[in-house]
Amino acid sequence: MVIARSGSKRWISAADTAARKLGLKVGMPASKAQAMVANLQMVDADPLADGAAIERLALWALRRYSPVVAVDGVDGIVMDTEGADHLQGGEELLISGIVNGLRGRGLTARAAVADSWGAAHALARLTSAETVVVPRGDVTKAVIGLPIHCLRLGPDTIRALRVLGVETVGELSALPQAPLTLRFGSEVGRRLDQLFGRLAEPIEPLRTPELVEVARNFQEPIGAAETIAKYVRRLVAQLTAKLEERGLGVRRSDLIIHRVDNTRQCLRAGLAKPVRDPAQLVKLLCDRIEKIDPGFGIERLVLVAVIAEPLEEKQVTSALVEEEVVDVTPLVDILGNRGQRLYRIAPLASDVPERSIQRIGPTAIETGAHWAAKWPRPSRLLPYPEEIETMAVLPDQPPVVLTWRGKRRRIVRADGPERIFGEWWLRPREMQAVRDYFVVEDEQGERLWVFRAGDGVDIGTGSHKWFLHGIFG
């Protein structure tokens, strides 16, 4: 439990799960808590250290998740996910990824995605679910029932509104605005408008002195794709020049587009390894220019190297003798930034076919490893083995007839069995499991990979049902 003090007043500013179970609440006087629970462990609050920690978290989020990240209040981080969520597979996956990432670091977090900063702020703090995604345009429905203390108003205003009998956002927004403004100032109306997204509330992104940033202001707003491309090219040239001074290469760069109507868009481009080649960066950024909606015009372009890593100059060996090795990372970067899943498949030491492959990064180190099995493997492997009807002699004969997806086939030739044992050293349930694989060929010449669960004698080794697992070419 954390205790904050102001003058001689001491109250609870944070409590962990165990303390909350005992009935302690945030905002309760410390003496009352001590009276309720004996041997209470109390720590003095340190707002400065908290602020520094939240800023470190915000920087982490800036590097990983979104180009526009800022500290929100004293206990939160706000980020603009537009233009960045597709890299994580959508908003849902993005925020669950954030929450899981923080949990891995021993922190409990709740996250919400909504159209406006105000709504996301309120939902993240007030709903019980770990992650909330409000669909576009549904903000009103989502926030109407929330209590008014989520509105980022001063405590005095909240108290006064409660005295008036206003408890929820819905009730507050139903009141006439003019008397409210007269009594409480313009703050209430502004916060309400920000909550419903009627008033733009730009996020001022967090920046540190290490970040390399170049910007360009336009006297006349620009909008045409060619013009944007031209200025992106110039910005990239400036950025790479700056990076060269420091001996750095970009790993992740953000293009932030300020429009005249005070809204902002971002393009984020990630790279598989540090790069300082202007042409490659320009290609990555210009590849998605069509995603930019210039609206009434763009008045400012900012290009930031969010993650920069040391990049040393290298001497290129003469290509006269040696075979040229092509670096595919530029292609990987282009396709990856479009949201395609890129991977290589590497062997994994497992006899079970579906576990013998693993996906690795497209630019992972080449090991030269092969699959050890000398038995033929099918070129198509079904996602799950499909059960088939067969006629076969137990214990070790291949099927004579099999029916798969409603088609009956007479088996002319067969090879097998190739016996595969369960991996009991990894999964205790597979202690006795056995699969007998056969390559079978029907009258038409189609070659299929079928297996029988179990060894054909002992029912403990499998159900003795037949499955089709792959198709040979």
Q: How far is the CB of 473 from another protein (least distance, A)?
A: 3
* Joined tokens for residue 394: 């137990």
Please identify, among the stretches 107-115, 126-134, 214-222, 336-344, the one whose residues bind another protein according to the rule CB under 8 A.
336-344
Nearest-5° angle of CA 404, CA 455, CA 457? 115
Consecutive H or E run containing 261: none
Question: Both ends of the chain: CA-CA distance in Å?
Answer: 66
Candidate list 347, 395, 421, 430; residue touching another protein; CB under 8 A? 347
Q: Compute the half-sphere exposure of residue 15: CA atoms within 13 Å on the CB side of its CA.
A: 18
Cβ density class 329-356: b for 16+ within 10 Å, e for less: bbebbbebbeeeebeeeeeeeeebbeeb
Candidate list 74, 200, 215, 373; residue touching another protein; CB under 8 A? 373
Q: How far is the CB of 141 from another protein (least distance, A)?
A: 29
Candidate list 14, 334, 352, 453; residue touching another protein; CB under 8 A? 334
Candidate list 178, 316, 326, 349; residue touching another protein; CB under 8 A? 326
- 380 to 399, contacts with another protein by CB under 8 A? 380-383
Instruction: Output 239 or 439, the one with its CB closest to another protein.
Output: 439
Please identify, among the stretches 38-46, 55-63, 310-318, 408-416, the one whose residues bind another protein according to the rule CB under 8 A.
408-416
Contact flag: residue 330 with another protein (CB under 8 A): yes
- Size of the chain in residues: 473
Cβ density class 428-440: b for 16+ within 10 Å, e for less: eeeeebbbbbbbb
Candidate list 127, 356, 403, 432; residue touching another protein; CB under 8 A? 356
* Joined tokens for residue 299: 């008045």
Q: How far is the CB of 437 from another protein (least distance, A)?
A: 12
* Joined tokens for residue 33: 């808590």
Phi and psi at residue 82, in whole multiples of 5°?
-65, 135
The count of residues interacting with another protein (CB under 8 A) is 52
Contact flag: residue 443 with another protein (CB under 8 A): yes
* Joined tokens for residue 168: 């929820």
Contact flag: residue 156 with another protein (CB under 8 A): no
- Residue 448 carries which side chain, given as an amino acid letter? L
Contact flag: residue 413 with another protein (CB under 8 A): yes
Please identify, among the stretches 25-33, 162-170, 206-214, 444-452, the one whose residues bind another protein according to the rule CB under 8 A.
444-452
Instruction: Output 299 or 442, the one with its CB closest to another protein.
Output: 442
Contact flag: residue 454 with another protein (CB under 8 A): no
The candidate with the shortest Cα–Cα distance to 118, out of 73, 176, 53, is 73
Please answer whether residues 67 and 306 qualify as being in contact, where contact means their C-beta atoms are separated by less than 8 angstroms. yes
Candidate list 60, 184, 231, 371; residue touching another protein; CB under 8 A? 371
Contact flag: residue 439 with another protein (CB under 8 A): yes
Please answer whether residues 10 and 3 qualify as being in contact, where contact means their C-beta atoms are separated by less than 8 angstroms. yes
* Joined tokens for residue 203: 């996020």
Please answer whether residues 210 and 75 qualify as being in contact, where contact means their C-beta atoms are separated by less than 8 angstroms. no
Radius of gyration of the chain (CA): 31
- 100 to 139, contacts with another protein by CB under 8 A? none
Instruction: Output 89 or 185, the one with its CB closest to another protein.
Output: 89
Q: How far is the CB of 373 from another protein (least distance, A)?
A: 7
Q: How far is the CB of 65 from another protein (least distance, A)?
A: 22
Q: How far is the CB of 290 from another protein (least distance, A)?
A: 12
Instruction: Output 237 or 334, the one with its CB closest to another protein.
Output: 334
Beta bridge partners of 113: 133
Please identify, among the stretches 184-192, 243-251, 387-395, 441-449, the one whose residues bind another protein according to the rule CB under 8 A.
441-449
Candidate list 201, 415, 418, 430; residue touching another protein; CB under 8 A? 415
Contact flag: residue 52 with another protein (CB under 8 A): no
| CA gap 217, 300 in Å, rounded | 4
Q: How far is the CB of 450 from another protein (least distance, A)?
A: 12
Contact flag: residue 22 with another protein (CB under 8 A): no
Q: Compute the half-sphere exposure of residue 161: CA atoms within 13 Å on the CB side of its CA.
A: 27
Instruction: Output 230 or 380, the one with its CB closest to another protein.
Output: 380
Consecutive H or E run containing 52: helix 47-64
Instruction: Output 133 or 332, the one with its CB closest to another protein.
Output: 332
* Joined tokens for residue 8: 């001689």
DSSP 374-402: -S---SEEEEEEEEEEEEE-TTTPPEEEE
| CA gap 111, 120 in Å, rounded | 8
Q: Which residues bind another protein (CB under 8 A)?
A: 326-328, 330-332, 334-335, 338, 340-347, 353, 356-357, 362, 366-371, 373, 376-383, 412-415, 439-441, 443-447, 470-473
